[in-house]
Amino acid sequence: SSFTFDGQTISYYDATFIPLHNQQDELRLRFKTNFPNGVLFYAKGTQNNDYLTVELRNGSIFVGIDLGSTPERPGATVIQAGSVLDDYQWHDLAVVRYWKNISVKIDQTVVYDESQSAFNGLDLDGK
């Protein structure tokens, strides 16, 4: 799908009716902006605080993911990739997760990390 945003609009999918329970995820975005900060993608779950976020902060991509947290073991992982992405040029982003292994590719740069969570699946059941 293709979307155009003016900085004040959103598009959303309601997963409260058909929850997503995945051990593997792939999110691809193509974007261009001259704004250095903004949320590109946000998804959350109600079970164990699962979430996936993609944000632009000071022109860099930040991917936040939590496959589930417990009081004894927080599961939040943040991966930073790219820079000067607010140059109004097209940029290709791919976030790929298989179990706890996560890769973030922005244009030709790839960053790998592993989730700190005690869980393996991403459970999304919110809007």
pLDDT, one tens digit per residue, over 109-122 is 999 999 988 888 88
On whether residue 59 sits in a domain, the answer given is yes
Q: What is the Cα gyration radius of the chain?
A: 15
The pLDDT tens digits of the residues spanning 2-50 come to 777 777 777 777 777 777 777 888 999 999 999 999 999 988 887 778 8
Global pTM exceeds 0.85: yes
On whether residue 104 sits in a domain, the answer given is yes
- The neighbour count for residue 101, using CB atoms within 10 Å, is 12
On whether residue 39 sits in a domain, the answer given is yes
- Distance, in Å, from the CA atom of 100 to the CA atom of 122, rounded to the nearest integer, reads 10
C-alpha distances out from residue 7 to 14, 33, 40, 43, Å:
21, 10, 10, 18
The structural domain count of the chain equals 1
The residue to which tokens 């244009």 are assigned:
107
What is the residue range of 61's domain? Answer: 22-122
pLDDT greater than 70 at residue 1: no
HSE at residue 16, side-chain half, CA atoms within 13 A, is: 4
